[in-house]
A and B are shown apart, each in its own frame.
Chain A
Amino acid sequence: MNKKILLQLTKRSTFILIFLLFISFVSSMSLFQKAFAAEEAPAQTSKEGGVAAPGVELPQFDASVLAAAPAAVAGQPATGTGTTTAAVEEEEVGPVQYRTFFGIDSRVVVWIVSELHLMFAAFVLGVPIFAVIVEIVGFKGGDIKYDKMAKEFTKLLSAAFATTASLGGLLGFCLFGLYPEFMGHMTNVFAPTMYVYALMFFGEAFTLYGYYYSWEILKGTALRKWFHIMLGVMLNLFGTGLMFLTNSWATYMMSPAGIVPTTGKVLSLYHAMYNPLWMPVNIHRLIANVCFGGFVVGAYAAVKFLGSKSEEEKAHYDWMGYVGNFIGVGALIPLPFAGYWLGREVYSSSPVMGNIMMGGAFSWTFIVQAILIGMLFIGANYYLWLGMGRIKGSERYTKFIKYLIFVIFMCFAVWLTPHNLPLSGEERAMIGEQYHPFSKYFGVMAAKNAVVNLIILATFFSFLIYRRSNKGELAPFSEQGRAGKIGIFSAVIFCLLMLVSYAVSLNFVELEANIKSFVKPLIGALYIQSFFICFAAFLTFKNKGKLAQSMLFAVTACIAVLYFWYYGFQVMQKANLVLRYLSVTQVSIVMSCLIMNAIIDIFMFRKAKLVGGIVWGKMPVRSQYALILLCVVIVILMGLMGFIRSGLRMDWHIYGVLQDTSQWAYTPTLSYMGRIVGLIVALFLGLVAFVFWLANLGDKKKSEKAEEYEDAVVGYEKH
């Protein structure tokens, strides 16, 4: 009884813990304020005051020859010129560069509105991708459960869509109103694409509402269902197209191309769109949207689970939460790779921007990012481990959990160790040199890449043991028939194509001979992995699939984690141009392991005997709070990364082309950023909760009416 009371107590305390975590993120930013306290005061001072902006030194690139030179700051409302006459006089002097929003910091207004728009847009673009996939799975498998869930996803989508559009409109007005000169430049370059954007928006709206409202009408025949699925695919195509278009505008601001920098004359719209950072951002956002959507849906299911009154309802939302988490984790796994590519291209487009990002003014935001990503991986794994409790037969695998915790937390420790530690003078004197060994060996990219790959492998392992918890004795591989053989062969061919083609291409990279010698071990590693992929397939055919999987895990961990951790240091010292090839090799090896092991697992356990069923709904309450935590963390992460991506431009609207000469052209301090991002997160979560509540109002009414009707029928029968 006492234990029950204690457990009850912890249910409430878990909720409080999540709330406190959110609050602590916001307040922890204030701790950094101390370090930046010296700059806090000038932070509020305008540039005209002649005080340097806080946080960063402002770049001096060609500022004198630009159209938006500091002299032109006169376009801003000057102090004490609040009268109508003054405003009229000012307008006569020249075009308005900046306006304010009822005296509020214009940058903050645009920051909040654009981030909220982006978060809703991420949800609206991410959810249809997996809604359609779930619908196809339900249709092909004949399971109505999947169809129901896909429809529920879409219901949330249609509710969020209108809010996204409203925020988008507000953002447009804010930008045109508050930053007219900047938007003039953008319109000058991108005007044709803006019309395309507006037209595509019609497509998005029509297909979305068509997809949702025709759900029941287009049921019945296979042809109708396929037509409905096609609508979903079209919806995704329009959504992705819209995102790619807007990404070209945003990335143009970071790495402008296709124009004459000094005059702003457009030379090539194609190059302005297809600027160096466009594709890396497209890919990164596409994956991140799915991840974001998955975790938000997971949190929605968790809230519904917590409020469920019947076992049936609990089971449904438990399953929905599981699917949301599965989607979130599935997309989270490739996300670090896409992020690394984007980061590398940022460095390639401008070494200064790269330095600001990883080693300069934004380096501490990446430590916060590391903490948040670590929390995502831990939260997702924790949910899987708790989920094993609802599967009979999982006891055989729970012994692995402690090792997984050890590995994941060790990796997390390395992952967040900064290269430059905050040290007191005494500590610095005692250490006696710039770097403590922990930061020296854990703080650099070679170590980070190694551990993130190990975290991914460990998360995948968690999923494998979760998956096979319900499975007992295996059927011999010969019983899998042609499907098994084709499946394994396909996986082998795919992996070999990926590994060998990359190994071959590495032979032809154009590098100096002394640097090129550092590429050879990478080629060797790719061939070794290829050999073990083939060997794993051979072992699987010989009914030794588990051995094959273990071997692949071991070989991958040895090459991609241990060896490349060491080799990364070598390359950093002697041939940093090889780093980009090293990271791709690392990713390819890890991906091949994940793909091959997943396929082996699918066919190995396809006809395995079931040990017991999965009891959906039998989940501890803390698992649902884990889902909510994952949602809060990914929202904070998106807010933070939005700040980093945009802030890297420093005091430029368009990097190196159009300078920001407003009074807000300084990089905010970490504490200030924390407060604004905290506000955005709170606003987004509040709005999402409100919108989802609205979306469910209709259902509530329907169920209440049904209950009233049933009561009336019962009453009538009694009389």
Chain B
Amino acid sequence: MAYKRRKFLLIWVITAAICLFLFLKYVSPKVFQVLMAKGHPMPTPSTLMMWYMIMGVLAGLVYATTSNQKFADFLGFLLPDSGPKIKILLQKLLFVGFPVIVGWFVYTWSIPGAASPVELRIQHPTLPQEFEKLDNPFRQADAETQRKCIEEGKILFQTYCRPCHGSKADGNGPFANSFRLRPINFQDPGTIATVVDNYLFWRIKEGGPGLPTESTPWDSAMPSWKDDLKDDEIWKIIMGEYDTAGVMPRQREKLE
């Protein structure tokens, strides 16, 4: 068995790469569908698929070259010698299959087709410095005032933001499905919990139209609220929004 494992190292590496491909292509979308209680599979994005496959193949090659013996066995599989019938069969399969797979990849990449371009998005556009120095005036107030502001903010949030962002701030508002890019789920720890209050103030006030030119086109359908809401109302909405989502804004840290 050990002999076979050594002599068939190339086949094992190829098998592992195929298994990884199948996992990413078919298993993981289903697993995430179940785990996240979705009504549809969650396909692995093509960029990620490519990166993970490159790493999988690289891992196989690294393993196959960690000793001279392994390396010789790995390459030796391709050499003609008197091995078991299965080896000769696999060799033929490899010599035919490899060019076919390469050809298939070349064909699928080169045929003309209509697909929207892959966008290199930037998560947090640069906050203009005029907003950096701002402070939420209600965060420094006494506990009772803060509580009051949060409650007022929650009402404002349900009035203005709920249609898209949802009553639980989870991005599942009644209009959410009508957008190509769904509204953000604020409960996700990687969203509003990673930014300071002022960042939200800027986003609410300026909305999608106020986004900078970098990495355009932006898909944000967020309206600009500066003509409809007063600054105080926006600060209160921010407080209510964090409270509804159950997360905290990033705090300014003291320098050591």
Instruction: Tell me the A residues contacting B by CB distance below 8 Å.
Output: 2-3, 6-7, 10, 32, 34-36, 38-39, 52, 54-57, 59-62, 276, 344-345, 347-352, 355-356, 359-361, 363-364, 378, 382, 385-386, 388-389, 398, 401-402, 405-406, 409, 412-413, 416-417, 419-440, 443-444, 515, 569, 572-577, 580, 620, 622, 650, 656
Point out which of A34, A39, A344, A421 has the most chain B C-beta atoms below 10 A from its C-beta.
A421
- Considering the complex, give the chain B residue whose CB is closest to the CB of A381: B62
- Among B97-105, B153-161, B185-193, B229-237, the stretch in contact with A: B185-193
Given contacts A434-B181, A437-B42, A574-B247, A405 and B63 within 8 Å (CB-CB):
yes
A351 to B202, CA, bound (A): 14
- Considering the complex, give the chain B residue whose CB is closest to the CB of A59: B129
Specify which of B48, B128, B182 is in contact with A438 (CB 8 Å cutoff).
B48
Instruction: Tell me the B residues contacting A by CB distance below 8 Å.
Output: 28, 32, 35-36, 38, 40, 42-48, 51-52, 55-56, 58-59, 62-63, 65-68, 71-72, 75-76, 78-79, 115-130, 132, 171, 180-182, 184-185, 188-191, 193-196, 199, 212-216, 246-248, 250-256
Specify which of A10, A436, A577 is in contact with B251 (CB 8 Å cutoff).
A577
A-B CB pair tally, cutoff 8 Å: 231
- Considering the complex, give the chain B residue whose CB is closest to the CB of A395: B67
A541 to B152, CA, bound (A): 64
A351 touches B132 (CB 8 A): yes
B40 touches A434 (CB 8 A): no
Given contacts A36-B215, A57-B128, A2 and B248 within 8 Å (CB-CB):
no
**Separation in Å of the B13 CB from the closest CB of chain A?**
11
A438 to B255, CA, bound (A): 33
**Which chain B residues border A429 with CB–CB below 8 Å?**
180
A351 touches B185 (CB 8 A): no
Given contacts A424-B115, A436-B48, A60 and B129 within 8 Å (CB-CB):
yes
A435 touches B188 (CB 8 A): yes
Given contacts A61-B129, A350-B132, A389-B68, A436 and B116 within 8 Å (CB-CB):
no
B65 touches A422 (CB 8 A): no
A420 to B124, CA, bound (A): 10
B122 touches A432 (CB 8 A): no
A283 to B68, CA, bound (A): 40
B190 touches A572 (CB 8 A): yes
A434 touches B182 (CB 8 A): yes
B253 touches A580 (CB 8 A): yes
**Separation in Å of the A698 CB from the closest CB of chain B?**
37
**Separation in Å of the B71 CB from the closest CB of chain A?**
7
- Considering the complex, give the chain A residue whose CB is closest to the CB of B214: A56
Specify which of A6, A344, A417 is in contact with B75 (CB 8 Å cutoff).
A6
**Which chain B residues border A574 with CB–CB below 8 Å?**
246-248
B122 touches A622 (CB 8 A): no
**Separation in Å of the A344 CB from the closest CB of chain B?**
7
- Considering the complex, give the chain A residue whose CB is closest to the CB of B198: A351
A347 to B193, CA, bound (A): 15
Given contacts A57-B128, A437-B42, A422 and B121 within 8 Å (CB-CB):
yes
A428 touches B52 (CB 8 A): no
A10 touches B252 (CB 8 A): no
Q: Is the interface of A mostly helix, strand, loop or mixed?
A: helix
A572 touches B254 (CB 8 A): no
A434 touches B171 (CB 8 A): yes
**Which chain B residues border A356 with CB–CB below 8 Å?**
126
Give 12 new A-B contacts, CB below 8 A, not counting A344-B253, A351-B252. A6-B75, A348-B254, A409-B55, A417-B51, A423-B45, A429-B180, A436-B42, A569-B189, A572-B190, A574-B246, A576-B250, A620-B71
Q: Is the interface of B mostly helix, strand, loop or mixed?
A: loop
Specify which of A347, A378, A402 is in contact with B253 (CB 8 Å cutoff).
A347
A435 to B188, CA, bound (A): 9
8 contacts between A and B (CB under 8 A): A348-B253, A351-B199, A360-B122, A427-B46, A431-B45, A433-B171, A434-B185, A434-B188
A430 touches B43 (CB 8 A): yes
- Considering the complex, give the chain A residue whose CB is closest to the CB of B247: A573
B184 touches A355 (CB 8 A): no
**Which chain A residues border B185 with CB–CB below 8 Å?**
433-434
Point out which of A7, A348, A422 has the most chain B C-beta atoms below 10 A from its C-beta.
A422
**Which chain B residues border A276 with CB–CB below 8 Å?**
255
B171 touches A359 (CB 8 A): no
B117 touches A432 (CB 8 A): no
Given contacts A413-B52, A574-B247, A349 and B255 within 8 Å (CB-CB):
yes
A573 touches B129 (CB 8 A): no
**Separation in Å of the B15 CB from the closest CB of chain A?**
14
**Separation in Å of the A442 CB from the closest CB of chain B?**
9
A432 touches B129 (CB 8 A): no
**Which chain B residues border A433 with CB–CB below 8 Å?**
171, 182, 185
**Which chain B residues border A364 with CB–CB below 8 Å?**
120, 122
Specify which of B68, B121, B189, B213 is in contact with A444 (CB 8 Å cutoff).
B189
Point out which of B42, B117, B124 has the most chain A C-beta atoms below 10 A from its C-beta.
B124
Given contacts A3-B72, A35-B215, A417-B48, A422 and B123 within 8 Å (CB-CB):
no
Specify which of A406, A620, A656 is in contact with B59 (CB 8 Å cutoff).
A406
A576 touches B190 (CB 8 A): no
**Which chain A residues border B115 with CB–CB below 8 Å?**
424, 426
- Considering the complex, give the chain B residue whose CB is closest to the CB of A568: B189
- Considering the complex, give the chain A residue whose CB is closest to the CB of B56: A409
A347 to B132, CA, bound (A): 12
Given contacts A434-B185, A436-B45, A39 and B120 within 8 Å (CB-CB):
no
**Which chain A residues border B75 with CB–CB below 8 Å?**
3, 6-7, 10
**Which chain A residues border B52 with CB–CB below 8 Å?**
413
**Separation in Å of the B76 CB from the closest CB of chain A?**
6
B216 touches A38 (CB 8 A): yes
B47 touches A422 (CB 8 A): yes
Given contacts A6-B75, A422-B120, A352 and B48 within 8 Å (CB-CB):
no
**Which chain A residues border B116 with CB–CB below 8 Å?**
424-426
**Separation in Å of the B30 CB from the closest CB of chain A?**
12
A599 to B200, CA, bound (A): 50
**Which chain A residues border B118 with CB–CB below 8 Å?**
35, 422-424
**Which chain A residues border B246 with CB–CB below 8 Å?**
573-574
A409 touches B193 (CB 8 A): no
**Which chain B residues border A348 with CB–CB below 8 Å?**
252-256
Specify which of A351, A405, A423, A572 is in contact with B196 (CB 8 Å cutoff).
A351
Point out which of B35, B71, B191 has the most chain A C-beta atoms below 10 A from its C-beta.
B71
**Separation in Å of the A661 CB from the closest CB of chain B?**
16
**Which chain A residues border B66 with CB–CB below 8 Å?**
382, 385-386, 398, 401, 405
A360 to B123, CA, bound (A): 6
B63 touches A420 (CB 8 A): no
A355 to B75, CA, bound (A): 48
A355 touches B199 (CB 8 A): yes
| 3 pairs of A and B residues whose beta carbons are closest in the complex | A57-B212, A61-B129, A359-B124
**Which chain B residues border A36 with CB–CB below 8 Å?**
120, 215
Given contacts A6-B75, A389-B67, A576-B248, A440 and B188 within 8 Å (CB-CB):
yes
A73 to B32, CA, bound (A): 55
**Which chain A residues border B132 with CB–CB below 8 Å?**
61, 350-352
A427 to B196, CA, bound (A): 30
B43 touches A432 (CB 8 A): no
**Which chain B residues border A388 with CB–CB below 8 Å?**
67
**Separation in Å of the A115 CB from the closest CB of chain B?**
24
Given contacts A348-B254, A576-B194, A57 and B72 within 8 Å (CB-CB):
no
**Separation in Å of the B156 CB from the closest CB of chain A?**
23
**Which chain B residues border A60 with CB–CB below 8 Å?**
128-130
**Separation in Å of the B232 CB from the closest CB of chain A?**
22
Specify which of A363, A405, A434, A650 is in contact with B62 (CB 8 Å cutoff).
A405
B247 touches A7 (CB 8 A): no
A574 to B72, CA, bound (A): 54
A347 to B196, CA, bound (A): 11
B55 touches A413 (CB 8 A): yes
A51 to B48, CA, bound (A): 35
A710 to B242, CA, bound (A): 84
A428 touches B255 (CB 8 A): no
Specify which of B44, B120, B125, B250 is in contact with A360 (CB 8 Å cutoff).
B125
